[in-house]
Amino acid sequence: MNKKFSIVIIVFSLLLIIWLGMGVGSNELPYVTIDELSEDYSDKPGKRFRIGGIVYEGSVIVDEKDPLLINFILEQEKKFMKVSYHQITPDMFKDGSEVIVEGIYDGEIFFADNLMTKCASKYEGDLRDAAQSSEKI
C-alpha cells in the first residue's frame, strides 16, 4: 500500500513540476532594446516584448477625443521608438519618467498593453545614470 501511495505522489509531483514549468515559460516576455527590435523586425511580427527607457521630454500626446489614448516617444541610449498606450496611465507617468512597456511592435509603433513607471528612489540604478556614465567613458 505504501509503494502505490509513493508512486502516485511521485507521478503527481512530476506532473505538477512540468505543468508549472510550462506555465512560467509561456508568461515570460523577452526584454529587448530598441535596436534589437528595430533591426530585425521580420522575425518578430505579432510577438510580445518588454522595453525600458525614458519618456522623451515633450513627446507625450493625449488624444482629445479619447483621454485614455496616450502616444509618446521612448528614448533608450539615444535611440527612439514611438509608443501608443490605451489604458489608464500610472500616477508617476510624465515627461522624463523611466518606464517599462510591454506589447507588440508593428514595425513603426510599439503598441503597449502594459505600462509601468519606475521610482528612482525604490530601485538601485537609473537608466539616466547609466546613459550618463556611458557618455563619460
Rounded average pLDDT over 33-58: 82
Same domain, 61 and 5: no
10 and 58 both lie in a single domain: no
The answer on 35 and 20 residing in a single domain is: no
Dihedral of the alpha carbons of 92, 96, 101, 104, in degrees to the nearest 10 = 140
How many C-beta neighbours within 10 Å does residue 114 have? 13
Residues making up the chain, counted from first to last: 137
pLDDT digits (tens, 9 = 90+) for 59-81: 999 999 999 999 999 999 899 99
What's the domain count of the chain? 2
- Same domain? For 21 and 56 the reply is no
**Residues 8, 25 share a domain:** yes
For residue 12, the enclosing domain spans: 1-29
**pLDDT interval class at 29 (50, 70, 90):** confident
Q: How confident is the model at residue 123 (pLDDT cuts 50, 70, 90)?
A: very low
Residue 24 pLDDT exceeds 60: no
47/105 Cα distance (integer angstroms): 8
- Whether 25 and 53 map to the same domain: the answer is no
- Is residue 8 located within the same domain as residue 42? no
- Do 52 and 76 reside in the same domain of the chain? yes
| Mean pLDDT of the 12-17 span | 81
